[in-house]
Structure 1
Amino acid sequence: MSSAPSSSPIPPDESASCVRAVDGVLHRRQHVGPKHLGDPAPDEATLRELFAAAAAAPDHGRLRPWRFLVLGPAARERLAQAFADALIERDPAATAEQQADARAKAFRGPVLIVAIADLRAEEPDVPEFERLVSLGAGIQNLLLAATARGYASGLSSGRAMRSRALRDALALAEGEHAVCFITLGTALREKPPRPRPAVDEFVRWI
C-alpha cells in the first residue's frame, strides 16, 4: 500500500526539476475526442491513482460535492439506450439512423467515466457554484494525472446530460447532476497543440 502524499516542502535541489515536470504536464494536456481514443487505456489500479489525484482538489467544508462513475459494458448499454431515448425526447421524429448514431456515442473510447455534482448537502457557507468549482478542480487533477502517465483524455457533454432518460440510467438522486463524461485512452492520431490565450488577455493587475 502506498503511503499518503507528503506536504513537506520540496528540497531546493529538486524544486527546479519538479517545476519543469509539472509545467510540462500542464501544457501537454489537451482535449482528444472520444472517437479518437483507443487502447491501451488505464487499468483499475491506474484509475484508482487518478481518482486519488481528483480527491486532492480544494473542497470547502469537506463536503465532497462530487462523485465519479466508471461505466462498464452493462452500464454502457444502458447509457446507449438513454442517449437514444433522450434524442426522442427532444425530437420525436428522429430517424432510426439518428438513434443509432446516438447509441454509438456510448461505446466510444476504452474508459468512460461520468462526473457527477452532488449538490444535496444544505450548507449555506458553501454555495453551489463553489461546489462546482471543486468538481472542476477534481476533474482537472484527474486529467493531469492521466497526462503524466502518458494517457490522453477528453471531456464531453451535450443535451442528453439533462434528460430524464440519462438520470434514470445512472440512478441519480434528486440534487445530483451529471456534468460531463471523461474518456481516457491513447490518442489514435497526432493533434497539434491548441493555442492558449496570452496571460494579459485574461488577467488584470489592479
Structure 2
Amino acid sequence: MDDDALPLIEICDELIRTRQHIGPKHLAEPGPDDATLDALFCAAAAAPDHHQLRPWRFLVLGEAARQRLSEVFVEALRQRDPQALPDQLEDARVKAFRGPVLILAIVDLRTDDPEVPAFERVFSLGCAVQNLMLAARARGFGSGLSSGRALHTALMRETFGLVEGEQAVCFISLGTPRRSRPVRQRPAVAEFVQRI
C-alpha cells in the first residue's frame, strides 16, 4: 500500500466509524447552507447507478413545504387514529419543523429499464443517502433518517408531486448535534461475514 494513501484511509475509516443517527429533535442550527448542500448532493451523485438511470431524487423542504408536510403528518395520524387527541395531533404537526434542514428522499421504481430491477434502484438510493450523510459528517454536521406511515399516503404523493412509480422512502435531517454520545458498538465482522 502506498504510504501517501494512509491518511486518506484513516480519514475515510474514521468518518464511517463515527457516523451515527441523530434524531431531528437533537439537531440545531446551524445547518448546511445551500453551497454545502450542493456539495452533499454531489457526493450523493457518486452512488452506484446501473445504466445511469439516477433512480432517485431529493426534495429540500423549505418553510412552505414543511408547513404542507405538517398537514400531511396530521392527516395521516387522523386516518390511523380517528380518536387522536389534540396534543397527539400537535406532536405530529411539529415533527415537520424539527432540524434545520429536512430532505425527502424519493426512489423511482418505474419499469423503464427492465435490466435494473426495483431492488437495485432502492440500493442505489441507499448508497446516495449514505454518501450524503458521510459528506455531511466530514463537514461537522449530524444527520438522521426517519420514516413512517405518512410516507405511503396518497396525500404525501399529491403534496410533493410524486408520479406513478415513485415512492417516498425516508427523510434526511441535517444540522449541528445538540449533544454528543458514544459511538454505538458495531457488530464484529465474524457475525455477518462468511468466507466460503
TM-score normalised by the chain length of structure 2: 0.97
Q: Are 1:53 and 2:77 an aligned pair?
A: no
Q: Deviations over 1:134-166 (max 9, x none)?
A: 000000000000000110000000111111121
Partner of 1:152: 142
What are the ranges of 5 or more consecutive residues in structure 1 without an aligned counterpart? 1-10
Q: How far, CA to CA, are the matches of 1:90 and 1:122 in structure 2?
A: 34
1:8-157 matched pairs, under 5 angstroms: 12-157=2-147
Q: Is the 8 A contact 1:86 1:164 kept in 2?
A: no
Partner of 2:179: 189
Q: Is the 8 A contact 1:83 1:165 kept in 2?
A: no
SS of 2:42's partner is: helix
Q: How far, CA to CA, are the matches of 1:97 and 1:149 in structure 2?
A: 37
SS of 2:172's partner is: strand
- Report the Cα offset of residue 13 of structure 1: 4.0
- Report the Cα offset of residue 12 of structure 1: 2.9
The alignment of Structure 1 onto Structure 2 pairs a total of residues equal to 196
Q: How far, CA to CA, are the matches of 1:116 and 1:105 in structure 2?
A: 19
Q: How far, CA to CA, are the matches of 2:159 and 2:87 in structure 1?
A: 22
Q: Deviations over 1:22-62 (max 9, x none)?
A: 00111110000000000111000000000000000000011
Partner of 1:179: 169
TM-score normalised by the chain length of structure 1: 0.93
Q: Are 1:163 and 2:153 an aligned pair?
A: yes
Percentage of identical aligned residues: 59
Q: Deviations over 1:51-74 (max 9, x none)?
A: 000000000011100000000000
Q: How far, CA to CA, are the matches of 1:72 and 1:121 in structure 2?
A: 31
Structure 1's consecutive aligned runs of 4 or more residues displaced over 4 angstroms after TM superposition are: none
Q: How far, CA to CA, are the matches of 1:199 and 1:12 in structure 2?
A: 25
Q: How far, CA to CA, are the matches of 1:168 and 1:189 in structure 2?
A: 36
Q: Is the 8 A contact 1:63 1:121 kept in 2?
A: no
Q: Deviations over 1:64-101 (max 9, x none)?
A: 00000000000000000000011111111111111111
